[in-house]
A and B are shown apart, each in its own frame.
Chain A
Amino acid sequence: DAGVTQSPTHLIKTRGQQVTLRCSPKSGHDTVSWYQQALGQGPQFIFQYYEEEERQRGNFPDRFSGHQFPNYSSELNVNALLLGDSALYLCASSLARGIRDTEAFFGQGTRLTVV
C-alpha cells in the first residue's frame, strides 16, 4: 500500500517564477492538506482540500493556491515566488469520518529553493 507520495522531491526556482507541487494521497484517503516547513520551524498549515474544494485555509497569501482532482490527488501552486518561500512543502492525507476521522499521514515533502 503506497503511502503519500509527492513530486518532485527537490526544486530550484528563480524569484518571480511560478511553481506547481503534486501530491497523491494514501490509498483510501479523501482529504489532502498542505503545510510549509521553513528551516528550523514546525510545519505551518497552508490549506486543506476535501471533495475537490478548499475547506480550510491558513494564514497564507493568495499567491498560494491549490486544487484537488476527482482521484483525490492534489496540486499546490505558488505564484510570484519570493526568497521567503524557500521551504519544505509537506502534503498530508487523511480520511474524513467526522469526529473519529483518521490521523494525517505525511509525504516525504518537496524541498523548494528560491534563488
Chain B
Amino acid sequence: AQSVAQPEDQVNVAEGNPLTVKCTYSVSGNPYLFWYVQYPNRGLQFLLKYITGDNLVKGSYGFEAEFNKSQTSFHLKKPSALVSDSALYFCAVRDPLYGGATNKLIFGTGTLLAVQP
C-alpha cells in the first residue's frame, strides 16, 4: 500500500533561518509526490509537486523540495523562513491504482511549522 510519513509533529525555526520539513514515502512504481499547506480554518493550498525530471522541485512562496529516490524522501525546504510561513504542512502521494487517471491522494499526518520572530 502507498503511504507517506512525516516523522516530526512540529518544527520550530527562527525567522531568517533555513527550514526543512521531512517526508518519506513508500510506493510501488514511480511516485507522484506533493506538498500542501494549510492555514488555520482554511483548506489546503498546493505548494509543489514531483512527477518526473529534476530532483529539485521549485514551488510557490519560495519553497522547494528535494526528491531522493535512494532514501525515499521528499523533504520540503526554504532558504529563509518567514513568520507568515507558520502553518500545517502536508506531504501526499498519489495512489496509482488507476493508472494514468486522476487518482486519490494519500496524506501524511502533517507537520506544524512554527517560525519565531
Contact status B107-A42, CB under 8 Å: yes
Q: How many angstroms between the C-alpha atoms of A103 and B45 in the bound complex?
A: 11
Which stretch, B12-20, B64-72, B94-102, touches the partner chain A? Answer: B94-102
- Also in contact, A101 and B100, with CB within 8 A (given A42-B90, A42-B108, A43-B90): yes
| B-contact 0/1 string along A93-109, CB 8 Å cutoff | 01110111101111111
Q: How many angstroms between the C-alpha atoms of A31 and B94 in the bound complex?
A: 15
Residues of the A chain whose Cβ atoms lie less than 8 Å from the Cβ of B49: 103
Contact status A56-B34, CB under 8 Å: no
Size range of the chain A interface in the assembly:
20 to 34
The answer to the question of A24 belonging to the interface, with a C-beta cut-off of 8 Å to chain B, is no
| 10 additional contacts (CB under 8 A) given A48-B103, A55-B102 | A6-B43, A55-B101, A56-B97, A56-B103, A90-B44, A92-B44, A99-B100, A103-B46, A104-B105, A106-B44
Chain B residues at the A interface, C-beta cutoff of 8 Å: 34, 36, 41-46, 49, 51, 90, 92, 95, 97-110
Q: Can you give 15 contacting A-B residue pairs, CB < 8 Å?
A: A6-B43, A33-B104, A35-B105, A41-B109, A55-B101, A56-B97, A58-B104, A92-B44, A92-B105, A95-B102, A96-B101, A98-B100, A99-B99, A101-B101, A109-B43
